[in-house]
Structure 1
Amino acid sequence: MKKFLMVVGILFLLGVVGAFALTNIDFNRMNASNYYLQITEDGEEHETKLDDGTVMTSYSYKLNATNADGETIPLEFTAQKNLRKDAYLKMYVKNGDEVSSYDEVKFEEIPKKAQKK
C-alpha cells in the first residue's frame, strides 16, 4: 500500500510540475538567438479567408536585425497587427533566420553594439 501511495504521489507531483511548465515557459524562446531591429515601415497586409467565412489579417515584414555582437541579418516575420513605427523589437530567432517570437523593448535595453547599427 505504501508503494502505491508513493507512486500516486510522484505522479501527482510530476503532473503539477508539468502543468506549471506548460503554463509558464515559452518554448518558442528557448534556445533562440536574440536579434534587435526597429520597425521603419508599415507591414505588407495579407488577408486569409477561413472555412467559416472569417477573414484574418496579418502583416509581413522584411527588415534587417542586429545581434549583441553587431552582426546583421535580414529577417522575415509576420504579426497579427500592423506594428508601431519606430518601435524597437527583440527578436527570438531559431535555425538561422526563423523568427519564433518577439517582444517590444526600449532602446536602452538593446546591447551597445546593436544600438550603433
Structure 2
Amino acid sequence: MKKGLIAVGVLAILLIGAIVTLATVDFNRMGKDNAYYQIPAKSTVEETKLDSGEIIKRYLYTGTAYKENGESIEVEFSAAKELKEGAYLKLYLKKGNAVTSYDEVQPSDIPDKVKF
C-alpha cells in the first residue's frame, strides 16, 4: 500500500513537471541558430478575409540578416503586427534561414562582428 502511494506521488510530480515545462519552454527558440535583422522602413501587408468576414493582416519582412559571425543571409518572415521601423531583432533560425521566432534587442546586445 505504501509503495503504491509513493508511486502515485512520483507520477504526479513527474506529470506536474512535464506540464510546467511545456507551458514555460519556447521550443521555437530552443537550440536554434541566431541572426540579427534591422526592420526596414516598409513592410508588405498581406490581408486574408475569413469566412466570418473578419480581415486578418500579416506583415511580411524580407531582407538581409547577419549571423553572429558576421555572415549575411537572406531571410523572410511574418509578424501579426507591424514592427517598429529601425528596431533590431534577434531571429531564431532552423535549417538555414527559416525564421521560427524573434525578439527585439538593443543595439548593445548585437555582437561586434554584425554590421548593418
Scaled to the shorter chain, the TM-score interval is over 0.9
Identity score, percent: 45
Taking the aligned partners of 2:98 and 2:80, their CA distance within structure 1 comes to: 17
Taking the aligned partners of 2:75 and 2:34, their CA distance within structure 1 comes to: 12
- Is the 1:42–1:83 contact (alpha carbons within 8 Å) kept by the matching residues of 2? no
For residues 15-36 of structure 1, the C-alpha deviation after alignment (integer angstroms, 9 at most, x for no partner) is: 1111210121111001110100
Aligned to 2:64: 64
Letter in 1 for 2:71: E
Is it true that 1:73 corresponds to 2:79 in the alignment? no
Q: Which runs of 4+ in 1 moved over 6 A?
A: none
Q: SS of 1:91's equivalent?
A: strand
Shift in Å, 1:53:
2.2
Taking the aligned partners of 1:106 and 1:56, their CA distance within structure 2 comes to: 29
For normalisation by structure 2, the TM-score amounts to 0.94
Aligned to 1:12: 12
- Report the aligned-residue RMSD: 1.0
Deviates more, 1:99-108 or 1:19-28: 19-28
For normalisation by structure 1, the TM-score amounts to 0.94
Taking the aligned partners of 1:27 and 1:76, their CA distance within structure 2 comes to: 20
Structure 1 gap segments, 5+ residues each = none
Q: SS of 2:84's equivalent?
A: coil
Taking the aligned partners of 1:19 and 1:42, their CA distance within structure 2 comes to: 40
For residues 47-78 of structure 1, the C-alpha deviation after alignment (integer angstroms, 9 at most, x for no partner) is: 11223222110010101100110011000000
Shift in Å, 1:96:
0.7
Matches within 5 A, 1:1-117: 1-114=1-114, 116-117=115-116
Taking the aligned partners of 1:63 and 1:41, their CA distance within structure 2 comes to: 12
More helix by share: 1
Structure 2 gap segments, 5+ residues each = none
Matched residue pairs, number?
116
Q: SS of 1:112's equivalent?
A: coil
Taking the aligned partners of 1:13 and 1:53, their CA distance within structure 2 comes to: 46
